[in-house]
Structure 1
Amino acid sequence: MAYPASTFTKLRVGLLVGAASVATLSPAAAQDLGGPADAPAIIVTGTRQLDRSAADTVAPVDVVSGSELQNQAPNDIGDAIRISVPSYNVSTQPISDAATLVRPANLRGLSPDNTLVLVNGKRMHRASVIAFLGGGISDGSQGPDISVIPSIAIKQLEVLRDGASSQYGSDAIAGVLNFILKDNADGIELTAKYGQTYKGDGENYLFGANVGLPLGDAGFLNLSAEYGESNATDRSVQRDDAAALIAAGNTAVANPAQIWGQPNVNDDFKFYANAGVDLTEDITLYAFGNYASRNVDGGFFFRNPTNRGGVYAGPMVDPVTGFASTAPNAVPSILVGDLSINTAGDCPAGIPLTQGGGLIPNPVVLAAVTANPNCFSFVELFPGGFTPRFGGDVEDYSIATGVRGKVLGAIDFDLSYRHGRNKADFMIRNTVNASLGPNTPTEFNPGGYSQTENVFNLNLGYEIPLGTGSVYVAAGGEYRDEEFTIYAGDLASFELGPLAQPTAAFPFGQGFSTSSNGFPGFATNSAGSSKEDNKAAYLDIEADLMEALTLQAAVRYEDTKSFGNTTTWKVGGLYKLSDALRVRSTYSTGFHVPTAGQANVINVTTQFSNGMLQDEGTFPLFSAPGLIAADYIAAPVASGGLGGTRPTLGPERADSFTAGVAGEMGRVTFTIDYFNIKLKDRISRSSAIDFPAALCYLANREGVANNCTSTFTPPTAQLLTQLANANVIDRADFTGFEDLTAFTFFNNDFDTRTQGVDFVLNSRFALVSGGTTRATLAINYTKTDVTNVGDTLNSTRVRQLEEGLPRWKGFLNLTHEQGRFRGLLRVNYFGKYFEAHLEDDTLPIFAKAKMTVDAEIGYEFIDNFELAVGAQNLFDTYPTLNPWRGIVGAQYGERSPFGFNGGSWYVRASAKF
């Protein structure tokens, strides 16, 4: 349902005035509050002690309450964290292949898999999805899927803003997110929410429930579930090429031909259980686990019916007959396939594009092709082109169990096991396998990925009294294994059909592409499982040497199956200058090991390059295509190579430094922390390299006839056929790669330095009639510099890494409770940033800084029943317009840190019993 603009004008003004009046009533005298600011929360992240407060940690830890994450507009917890933690960024993924299913997120400007995610202090398993299209910063990342966590299940989120590899292992370079689950043994909480954008699309709803149950007299079982759906949005304009087709008379072209917006998220179910029972006074048995599933459906790029390679684009032909021609009057054509396949000349080479400015096929030749059962062109099936729809089903589950407590009256212990699995089954529809001609399906199952992990942990701790202080010594070990699996797609999704197969009449096929167009299926040579394991031991010491001084030191040894071993360490200290002022600092080393998926994945995706769509493959370095790629990169320029360094894949290593001040001034608390993270040999997906050129290098080296010249490179399918016929390659190793124009691989190819400042201020004000107002001001500045550029990182990627996220981000949040009223008013700031439209820095979007406002008013009509109305982006702010929007129809850049949907409203009802 769409509403007139005047309705939303009134809504915006009403929300703003109401929220502001509730959230900013006049302060009363200080004595009305009866004391200083709220007591700091007790945290378990970044420390092994059980009673450490966030104010007394040697490294900064932010604590976000579960109610803050829940009382917001987004249904996805990642979006909620984005507006609660300034250094956390996640963007909408409108056309990003599998990244649309599991969106990559960034903490402190680093890759998603540089942040360790914990649940109840235990490592969360990774998602199965690898973000091949990650906007430069996230390219090739494989992080956890936190969207499977229902916000109603969270007691609090602890964000450790410090390197912690020596404490927790691989990945904890940017920091740690630790989701603490609710553990109440009684009570019921119910919530229901509905909302949509001001434009009337993006309708969404969410139902949630949390139930606490006793387990005997000494235990609890806490259950949480959410179910919801979010409809797609559309912020597109018509593409220039599609508009030209319509103007020329092609009435089959859709308007818009390609949709840019958030995808549909259907049947989004999330469940978490958390349980514990005291076996004795000193020993507790605990368990927690989850199950989640959802379906995601989004759009892809438009396939132009005049020039999409491998489907429509034909050779230069005679404008009257359609037969191939090199004459001066030759014109472009639409590709025609000869279904007889064994006799050439039955059909014209193409349907001439001679009418409507060369955009409409010659009707005489088109009619002749349609009438001839031996001839076929895809304008017969899709005269207006087509736009694939891509998505899939995501399923995620885990179970953790353990026992913790004290033994021998003084030794703390925690013995645990956690198993987790994430699986993505992909789907693509409204597309074709062009090589199958008229027999192609239009919907395919391209296969999928799964990620399975097992983690065993033993943690021990003992406190040693020392004068007026104490020393807490912790030690332990961990064993972790992971398995990444690729599932083959259905045969049609990767099949080399008759219109692409070499025959005597067509020795290099007929120019039609293989596989499901847009997202080729995983062939049988791509399917299989890859395993990796890690073994670790650590020692962690915290010493309260005196009331004013806390020191911390940790060391960890970790041994990996494929990438050797490493030792990381950390030292830190906190000194209380007074009861109200503390200084703190840490220095640590860290590391991140390639995942089994990054080391072994095989994938083909469609990218926009040089004004055209191209298929781009990703290979393991040890595979047959990967070895060719490595040889080509390392070969001297004189012999046809790139003259670079042979690529390798191994761990990335970090050096991190923090220094900060934390203090209190009456009812105001503040922290300001500087951080500096030097990351060496970063793991990432390389920039694209010309695949036919690499095959030409191989053909030249092996003396295979290939027709390669400095100005002409034969198509990939032709080169593969020639190399296979000469026994240089095994053709089976390249199934599904016949249409590739570029390739990438995972390697270590650049270094970065990321530094910045986090500032957080919290205050509590006295209000008339006993109300409570809290204010939070949080500001983050993050700057990344690429300090060493290797052979496979292009200028676009460098600029994306350095400027792809806002350097400045922050918010001012006011909440107020007054009797039965509750109000929220938040002002968000997002600094300027750069976006390479279509991953091309010659199409720059210089996005300006923007401010958005969120507001919510809640009223408790009867005891424990509340109705709230709110708005996200109250004043309907949009990111900077895309100056290149006519190319593919994207009205705004897709990397906006606050999305591109504009304003939205919602209503929420909640009850507690």
Structure 2
Amino acid sequence: MSGGIAHAANASSDASADTQDDIIVTGTRRSDRTAAESLSPIDVIPAKALETVPSSDLNDKLTRLIPSYQVQRNTVADGNIFFRSATLRNLSPDHTLVLVNGKRRHRSAFIDVSQLGAQAVDIAQIPSVALKQVEVLRDGASAQYGSDAIAGVVNFILDDRPGVRAYAQAGQYYAGDGENYQFGINAGLPLGDRGAINFSLEFTDNARTARNDQNLAAQALVDNGGLYGSAAFYQDAIRDPVQRIGQPKLRNYRSFVNAHFDLTDDVSLYSFGSYSTSKGANDFIWRNPETTGFFNPLPIWGDWTLRSVYPGGFTPNFQASSKDIDLVAGLKGKLSDNFAWDLSGRYGRNRIRYNIDNTINASLGPDSPTSFFAGSKSQSEYGANLDLTWQPEIGLSQPLTVAFGGEYRHERYRAGTGEPASYALGPGAAFGYPGGSNGFFGTDPTQAGTFGRHSVAAYVDVDAQITKSWEVDVAGRFDDYSDAGSAWTGKIATRYELVRGLALRGAFSTGFRAPTPGQANLTNTGQQPSPDGSVIITRGTIPSINPVAILRGGRALKPERSVNISGGFTYAISRRANLSVDYYNIRVKDRLGISANFTLTPQERADLVASGVTLAQGLDTFNFYVNGFITRTQGVDAVLSYEIPVNAETTIGLTALYNYNKTRITGSNPGVVSPLRRQALEDRLPHHKASFTIDATHGRIQATLRGTWASAWTQPFFDNVAINQRFGSEAFLDASVSYAVTPAIKATVGVENFLNNYPDRELRLASLGARYPIYRPYEADGGRYFVRLGVDF
């Protein structure tokens, strides 16, 4: 089975071969641990399994292959259009710790204020061609790794093999758009006989998709004309559709280098690093020239009106470009046969620049440009780790494993100003005309700044194989943050093999996550339509200690804390059939999120403007971060795998995955947590998700059929949650066939969602022309076919 996935139950034979007998490095300090023997559920996804999903985004690949891993597609949501944050077990995206080769990955500069308020790692910046495998620990691990590991850990293991592996892929949706081109190459070279270096480069180019009809108000002007133009006039002035709702235009360059060199027999030097860039563009909501107030003339500008610039209204075009760099270097070795050490340092930085064109600063009138640089955001981090492992013989079934060490981290968030016109309040502001670049307000000097913190930590982790059948692991960690105080966390996990092939396992742990400097100091604006689609509402997120936020219950932010309980079993039904079932219960106290949306009074608006927060001039509502929730997330993960050797040339592999997940708010801060936030936490994702994969190999031919099913969910969009739409369950089928032209060259043709399924039609936002939900847990673009040519020398 060339694309097999090794889950905690077991691995298929070929998948095991691909992953060195399924040896794992995540969630354990031992060097002989396999996924089947893990004390907590672990998925091992080999590189060949990633190839079976045609998407160029690593998030989409993992969503197809891991049942409790989900990523949202938000088609009208500022930066969230381009920077998609994934969730594990329906917790916040920044409740999952992301590692590369076991080292912490830096966060993105993007902070998602449209949903859960997360500032997470941008996994899409990691090229899949650079990977040997992905290990996903589905259990709390703060005591082992520190802040952020409340839901679990995703560890990307870089390829270090010699040789050359490359691919080229092209695809397109049934609808004739969304053309996708990908190219990747991975080359491994020896460094004499003491080391190796591995280079990876990946390029992806994704065209837009549009799954919408014409805006009803725009269509009415084209059909009937209006007060300021005839039907014939608007037929020439209005594009069809005036805005495109779907996936954005997005281009990425991603690269990785991974190297190691043995300085002596006992000391090795290692280093790995990445550099990537991305650039995307997408439409915002169309501004109606007949009903939008700032199209009307003002006495101060004589006969000039905005209709002379945009006679058919305008649709702002929003763009984001990102540069991402990460570098890790270290030394590791042995002081003796049973004492190993690892000393490393790391640096990471992500910088995002925002631009918006085909828009206006309405308060500047005829003096306004139509294109703006709206500012930048950057996140930089550096740190150092010392990890020590001692394995003494004390008379147990295996040597005791005692791991201990420490960590230093520093992180800094910076908001850079936009050009003055992107945030200026011009003379039209006195008449109520909004200032700043319409659609995305530029960062002004009062919002700009640099905010940082540092932390130190120490940990100890003891793993004891008490008998051949019984293993216990106990871990403890202390973290101290300069801005968030200190925290003790602990974990105890155990596994007991009742009879050969049948084992029980369970864990109890505490965890925490410190709010980031970016979340504590963010000022941001966003826009969305009113329930009837006739008005565009501007919302701002302000710091929780802003005087206006304090009036509505804002306070200084504090760390989130969790208690995780899990338990389950693994059962080797036969040598080729395996089953694992795990239950989890995660309670998060002081959970961080976005408050309710509050309306500014005229006095509050004036006070904000007077204090320098000029964006308040155009704000309709505002919100802020708050530790306002206590949540409980419960669920079950189940994995069944079965391998059928038909004959010497034919093998069939079957894998079935299932996740049940339910989050409930068990406590909240009245007046701060709104019904909309409750709905977003509890119902924005399906409670049930299941998939099956049939992977068959016959000689040179390999075929894969994968089905994915998700249950019903609710789109949390409007403050009046009673009108938010619930969407029914949906199923998707993917299929691909590969042929080995030679042992080194393989050609693949495939179809994703070959039944061309779509979710239920959008009802509440149909006036905008939206056919399908604009916030959704899966793509809604229909079927896509692709061809791929791969080489492996």
Q: Considering only aligned residues, what root-mean-square deviation do their CA atoms show, in Å?
A: 2.0
Query: In structure 2, what is the equivalent of residue 101 of structure 1?
Result: 82
Query: In structure 2, what is the equivalent of residue 519 of structure 1?
Result: 440
Q: Report how far residue 380 of structure 1 moved.
A: 2.0
Does 2:569 match 1:661? yes
Query: In structure 2, what is the equivalent of residue 114 of structure 1?
Result: 95
The aligned amino acid for 1:94 is T
Query: In structure 2, what is the equivalent of residue 28 of structure 1?
Result: none
With over 3 angstroms needed to count, the CA separation of the structure-2 counterparts of 1:822 and 1:413, relative to structure 1, is same
Does 2:40 match 1:59? yes
Query: In structure 1, what is the equivalent of residue 239 of structure 2?
Result: 254
Query: In structure 2, what is the equivalent of residue 473 of structure 1?
Result: 402
Task: Select 1:69's aligned residue among 50, 70, 73.
Answer: 50
- Aligned residues of 1:692 and 1:742 also touching (Cα < 8 A): no
Write the distance in 2 (CA, Å) between the matches of 1:280 and 1:838. Answer: 63
Q: Report how far residue 732 of structure 1 moved.
A: 4.8
TM-score normalised by length of structure 1? 0.82
Task: Select 2:157's aligned residue among 171, 180, 192.
Answer: 180
The aligned amino acid for 2:62 is I
Structure 1 residues 758-777: aligned runs within 5 Å = 758-777=637-656
Q: How many pairs are equivalent?
A: 769
Query: In structure 1, what is the equivalent of residue 268 of structure 2?
Result: 284
Does 2:582 match 1:673? yes
Does 2:471 match 1:510? no
Q: Report how far residue 840 of structure 1 moved.
A: 4.9
Query: In structure 1, what is the equivalent of residue 659 of structure 2?
Result: 780
Write the distance in 2 (CA, Å) between the matches of 1:764 and 1:56. Answer: 19
Write the distance in 2 (CA, Å) between the matches of 1:290 and 1:906. Answer: 28
**What is the SS of the residue equivalent to 1:572?**
strand
Q: Report how far residue 212 of structure 1 moved.
A: 0.5
Once the two structures are superposed, what CA deviation does each residue of 1:165-191 show, in whole Å capped at 9, x if it has no partner? 01000000011000000011x211110
Write the distance in 2 (CA, Å) between the matches of 1:842 and 1:379. Answer: 37
Once the two structures are superposed, what CA deviation does each residue of 1:86-132 show, in whole Å capped at 9, x if it has no partner? 10111222111011221111110011000000000000000000011
**What is the SS of the residue equivalent to 1:797?**
helix
Write the distance in 1 (CA, Å) between the matches of 2:348 and 2:699. Answer: 44
Does 2:514 match 1:605? no
Write the distance in 1 (CA, Å) between the matches of 2:492 and 2:620. Answer: 49
Structure 1 residues 684-723: aligned runs within 5 Å = 684-692=593-601, 695=603, 716=605, 720=606
Write the distance in 2 (CA, Å) between the matches of 1:759 and 1:799. Answer: 26
Write the distance in 2 (CA, Å) between the matches of 1:282 and 1:301. Answer: 61
Query: In structure 2, what is the equivalent of residue 882 of structure 1?
Result: 762
Write the distance in 2 (CA, Å) between the matches of 1:646 and 1:448. Answer: 26
The aligned amino acid for 1:628 is V
Does 2:631 match 1:752? yes
Query: In structure 2, what is the equivalent of residue 542 of structure 1?
Result: 463
Query: In structure 1, what is the equivalent of residue 542 of structure 2?
Result: 619
Task: Select 1:171's aligned residue among 131, 148, 160.
Answer: 148
Q: Report how far residue 891 of structure 1 moved.
A: 0.5
Query: In structure 2, what is the equivalent of residue 84 of structure 1?
Result: 65
**What is the SS of the residue equivalent to 2:219?**
helix
Query: In structure 1, what is the equivalent of residue 169 of structure 2?
Result: 193
Once the two structures are overlaid, the 10-residue window that deviates more, 78-87 or 826-835, is 826-835
**What is the SS of the residue equivalent to 2:308?**
coil
User: What 5-or-longer segments of structure 2 have no aligned partner?
Assistant: 5-12, 226-233
Write the distance in 2 (CA, Å) between the matches of 1:769 and 1:897. Answer: 41
Does 2:417 match 1:488? yes
With over 3 angstroms needed to count, the CA separation of the structure-2 counterparts of 1:155 and 1:37, relative to structure 1, is closer
The aligned amino acid for 2:393 is P
**What is the SS of the residue equivalent to 1:476?**
strand
- Aligned residues of 1:604 and 1:615 also touching (Cα < 8 A): yes
Q: Report how far residue 839 of structure 1 moved.
A: 6.1
Asked which structure has the greater CA Rg, the reply is 1
Write the distance in 2 (CA, Å) between the matches of 1:778 and 1:83. Answer: 10
Q: Report how far residue 57 of structure 1 moved.
A: 1.5
Structure 1 residues 143-182: aligned runs within 5 Å = 143-182=120-159
- Aligned residues of 2:382 and 2:410 also touching (Cα < 8 A): yes
- Aligned residues of 2:542 and 2:549 also touching (Cα < 8 A): no
Does 2:239 match 1:239? no
Query: In structure 2, what is the equivalent of residue 558 of structure 1?
Result: 479
The aligned amino acid for 1:293 is T
Does 2:548 match 1:628? yes
The aligned amino acid for 1:593 is A
Once the two structures are superposed, what CA deviation does each residue of 1:870-904 show, in whole Å capped at 9, x if it has no partner? 01001101011112242222100123332100100
- Aligned residues of 1:680 and 1:751 also touching (Cα < 8 A): yes
Query: In structure 2, what is the equivalent of residue 274 of structure 1?
Result: 258
The aligned amino acid for 1:858 is S
Does 2:316 match 1:395? no
Q: Report how far residue 23 of structure 1 moved.
A: 11
**Among the aligned pairs, what percent are the same residue?**
37
With over 3 angstroms needed to count, the CA separation of the structure-2 counterparts of 1:765 and 1:447, relative to structure 1, is same
Write the distance in 1 (CA, Å) between the matches of 2:279 and 2:352. Answer: 10
**What is the SS of the residue equivalent to 1:144?**
coil
Once the two structures are overlaid, the 10-residue window that deviates more, 545-554 or 382-391, is 382-391
Does 2:504 match 1:583? yes
Task: Select 2:193's aligned residue among 217, 228, 233.
Answer: 217
Q: Report how far residue 339 of structure 1 moved.
A: 2.9
Query: In structure 2, what is the equivalent of residue 806 of structure 1?
Result: 686
Write the distance in 2 (CA, Å) between the matches of 1:468 and 1:477. Answer: 27
Task: Select 1:830's aligned residue among 710, 713, 736.
Answer: 710
**What is the SS of the residue equivalent to 1:465?**
coil
The aligned amino acid for 2:70 is N
Write the distance in 1 (CA, Å) between the matches of 2:17 and 2:253. Answer: 38
The aligned amino acid for 2:222 is I
The aligned amino acid for 1:906 is F
Write the distance in 1 (CA, Å) between the matches of 2:646 and 2:719. Answer: 51
Does 2:308 match 1:428? no
With over 3 angstroms needed to count, the CA separation of the structure-2 counterparts of 1:172 and 1:23, relative to structure 1, is closer
Write the distance in 2 (CA, Å) between the matches of 1:387 and 1:792. Answer: 33
- Aligned residues of 1:830 and 1:897 also touching (Cα < 8 A): no
- Aligned residues of 1:486 and 1:529 also touching (Cα < 8 A): yes
The aligned amino acid for 1:248 is N
- Aligned residues of 2:652 and 2:696 also touching (Cα < 8 A): yes
Once the two structures are superposed, what CA deviation does each residue of 1:670-693 show, in whole Å capped at 9, x if it has no partner? 110000000111111212111226
Write the distance in 1 (CA, Å) between the matches of 2:223 and 2:135. Answer: 56
Query: In structure 2, what is the equivalent of residue 203 of structure 1?
Result: 179
- Aligned residues of 2:753 and 2:784 also touching (Cα < 8 A): yes
Write the distance in 2 (CA, Å) between the matches of 1:838 and 1:855. Answer: 37
Q: Report how far residue 376 of structure 1 moved.
A: 2.2
Once the two structures are overlaid, the 10-residue window that deviates more, 848-857 or 379-388, is 379-388
The aligned amino acid for 2:93 is P
- Aligned residues of 1:303 and 1:387 also touching (Cα < 8 A): yes
Once the two structures are superposed, what CA deviation does each residue of 1:300-329 show, in whole Å capped at 9, x if it has no partner? 1111112335x23xxxxxxxxxxxxxxxxx
Q: Report how far residue 253 of structure 1 moved.
A: 2.6
Once the two structures are overlaid, the 10-residue window that deviates more, 811-820 or 420-429, is 811-820
- Aligned residues of 1:238 and 1:886 also touching (Cα < 8 A): no
Q: Report how far residue 760 of structure 1 moved.
A: 0.7
Once the two structures are superposed, what CA deviation does each residue of 1:700-744 show, in whole Å capped at 9, x if it has no partner? xxxxxxxxxxxxxxxx4xxx2xx5xxxxx7825222321112111
Q: Report how far residue 646 of structure 1 moved.
A: 5.2
Q: Report how far residue 77 of structure 1 moved.
A: 0.6
- Aligned residues of 2:75 and 2:775 also touching (Cα < 8 A): no
Write the distance in 2 (CA, Å) between the matches of 1:518 and 1:671. Answer: 49
**What is the SS of the residue equivalent to 1:83?**
helix
The aligned amino acid for 1:113 is D
Write the distance in 1 (CA, Å) between the matches of 2:3 and 2:698. Answer: 9
Query: In structure 2, what is the equivalent of residue 847 of structure 1?
Result: 727
Task: Select 1:450's aligned residue among 378, 394, 412.
Answer: 378
Write the distance in 1 (CA, Å) between the matches of 2:66 and 2:56. Answer: 17
Task: Select 2:427's aligned residue among 495, 498, 504.
Answer: 498
Once the two structures are overlaid, the 10-residue window that deviates more, 450-459 or 382-391, is 382-391
Structure 1 residues 270-419: aligned runs within 5 Å = 270-309=254-293, 311-312=294-295, 335-339=296-300, 374-419=302-347
**What is the SS of the residue equivalent to 1:243?**
helix
Query: In structure 2, what is the equivalent of residue 641 of structure 1?
Result: none
